[in-house]
Amino acid sequence: MYIKDVLPMQRICYMDPISRSPTNNDVVKETMIRTMNVARETGQDYSIVTYDLAVALKAYSIQAIESPMFDNLLIMLGNFHVELDFYGAVGTLINETGIEFILTEADILAEGSMMGFIKGKFYNCCTRIHELLANVLEQKLYQLFLLDLPEEEYESVVLVMHTLPSNASQAEVHLLDPVVLQHLEKYEEFFQMIIDGSQGPTAQFWATYIFLINRLHRELQRCVKTNDVNSYINVFPMILGVFFSLNRPNYARWGTLFLQKLKSCDPKLIEILEKGAFSVRRTTKDYSRSAVDLSLEQSVNRDAASQMKGIVAFRNCHAKVVVKHDPESYGCN
């Protein structure tokens, strides 16, 4: 499917920094109050704020204790940090399988970065290598699938793919050809058989890894890049299942609370998220939206940490600064 982002670009505005620890209860409460004040000033009934887990768990506690003061505030877990924890969970799965040494021998992963990759500490490194590794493994799996494919069916698929138009809109229609759809359906059935253990435990293990990266994580990324809130709500329980099974109790516990609040919130809040508050569009390119907390890391937190920037007031600020988007940029009054 070819994505067309119809939502407008957004502006990131810096708020006054708070020169204290971001996990301090008073600081967390102050950021919540500021968020509510911005919502009131812009005529919104509800407000949305995004935190990483260390801050969010305190915000949830404050919200419960101070009720009904913050009842109209939706506290979101930043998807950038969710992804990092997901990478850490997947790293737990593949640790000491030998694949990390194959990656270093192939000069894909530096030896000094190995533990950071396994623990999910380096976002860009994890994203690049996991996608590369999963794609290579799935190509091998697909080649195995083709070995048992009837020759006539194989030639039909090759013929359709060789006549693929260069125009994107025409290509999308072309890929809906019954031959292609039937081929993909058969491959998914084959893939599920591998996960069920038809080719032995080794193939089953790596097919599970392929599923986590090429199916589950890719769908999570798609939801953020397309601002698809409802699909995010549907896929997040599977992410929680990974956290539960691979010893990530903090995100498993608080992620469950976050999901419950997201599923039960007022439809008006979902509407605000769908209009652009769920993820941030900073370029004119389609399918290029980023998570709110990642946008914060790339803007105000970068400026606060860098010695090369001219924002002197931010340079000595150790607290993370709440980022709020211009409500008009996603169509709210």
Burial class (CB in 10 A: 0-12, 13-18, 19+), 242: buried
Residue 109 lies in a domain: yes
Tell me: pLDDT of 29 over 80. Answer: yes
* Amino acid in the structure at residue 41: E
Under the banding of pLDDT at 50, 70 and 90, the label for residue 19 is confident
Least confident interval from 200-214, 231-245, 298-312: 298-312
Alpha carbons 60 and 74: distance in angstroms, whole number: 10
pLDDT at position 322: 43
pLDDT at position 316: 53
Residue 256 lies in a domain: no
Q: In this structure, are 89 and 114 located in the same domain?
A: yes
Under the banding of pLDDT at 50, 70 and 90, the label for residue 311 is low
Q: How confident is the model over 88-121, as pLDDT tens digits?
A: 999 999 999 999 999 999 999 999 999 999 999 9
- Ranges 18-27, 162-171, 207-216, most confident: 207-216
Tell me: pLDDT of 306 over 70. Answer: no
Average confidence (pLDDT) over 124-151 = 96
Average confidence (pLDDT) over 31-55 = 94
Rounded to a whole number of angstroms, the distance between the first and last alpha carbons of the chain is 32
Alpha carbons 217 and 85: distance in angstroms, whole number: 12
Q: Which residues of 157-176 are buried (b: 16+ CB within 10 A; e: fewer)?
A: beebeeeeeeeeeeeeeebe
Average confidence (pLDDT) over 200-219 = 97
pLDDT at position 129: 97
Domain count, the chain: 2
pLDDT at position 163: 86
Q: In this structure, are 124 and 204 located in the same domain?
A: yes
- Angle at CA 260, nearest 5°, toward 257 and 262? 110
Q: In this structure, are 217 and 115 located in the same domain?
A: yes
Q: Which of 241, 322, 236 is nearest to 51 (CA)?
A: 322
Residue 66's domain comprises 12-77+266-330
Average confidence (pLDDT) over 27-48 = 94
Residue 51 parent element (H or E): strand 47-51
Q: In this structure, are 24 and 97 located in the same domain?
A: no
Q: In this structure, are 73 and 154 located in the same domain?
A: no
Q: In this structure, are 211 and 86 located in the same domain?
A: yes
Q: In this structure, are 141 and 274 located in the same domain?
A: no
Tell me: pLDDT of 2 over 80. Answer: no
pLDDT at position 146: 95
Tell me: pLDDT of 76 over 80. Answer: yes
- Angle at CA 294, nearest 5°, toward 292 and 297? 115
Q: In this structure, are 93 and 219 located in the same domain?
A: yes
Tell me: pLDDT of 309 over 80. Answer: no
Q: Which two tokens stand for residue 200?
A: 């032995």
Q: In this structure, are 116 and 223 located in the same domain?
A: yes
Q: In this structure, are 89 and 162 located in the same domain?
A: yes
